[in-house]
Amino acid sequence: MDGNLIRETSHYPEGTINYILEYDCDGNLVRETYYRADETLERVFEYGSNGNTTKETIYNSDGSIDFWSEYEYDSNGNRTKCISYNSDGTIYYVTEYDAEGHATTKY
């Protein structure tokens, strides 16, 4: 890639925008924006230096945070845990993964 943000736009048949996907210069998806009749939803992704997703945040139409998830990895880059939070910062759920990447525990 040339170092510029890459953008992909999808339209409904009548021409209005369905969604926009934006990628960083490394090809990582950094933002998804979905347009619906009465709302716009946005997901923003953050990445660590190794390219693994470290955080995913979901925003409401008014720009407030709906919820977010933070991801942990082992030294081999395998996801080991996902902790999801409500907008007030309380934990919504936790998922732990085994060495093969399968969800083993949810609470």
Q: How many other CB atoms sit within 10 Å of the CB of residue 78?
A: 13
Q: What is the residue-averaged pLDDT of the chain?
A: 92
Model confidence at 26: pLDDT above 50 = yes
List C-alpha distances in Å: 14 to 17, 18, 27, 34, 39: 9, 10, 30, 16, 18
pTM of this structure? 0.85
The CA-atom distances, in angstroms, between 54 and each of 46, 49, 50, 83, 85 are 6, 10, 10, 11, 14
Residue-wise pLDDT for 71-87, tens only, equals 999 999 999 999 999 99
Which of the four pLDDT bands, split at 50, 70 and 90, describes residue 1? Answer: very low
For residue 17, give the nearest of 44, 50, 41, 48 by alpha carbon. Answer: 41
For residue 98, pLDDT beyond 70:
yes
pLDDT for residue 4: 67
Reported as a pLDDT band with limits 50, 70 and 90, residue 97 is very high
DSSP, res 101: S
What lies within 8 Å, CB to CB, of 3 at 6+ separation is: 25
Condensed to tens digits (0 to 9), the pLDDT of residues 33-73 reads: 999 888 999 999 999 999 999 999 999 999 999 999 999 99
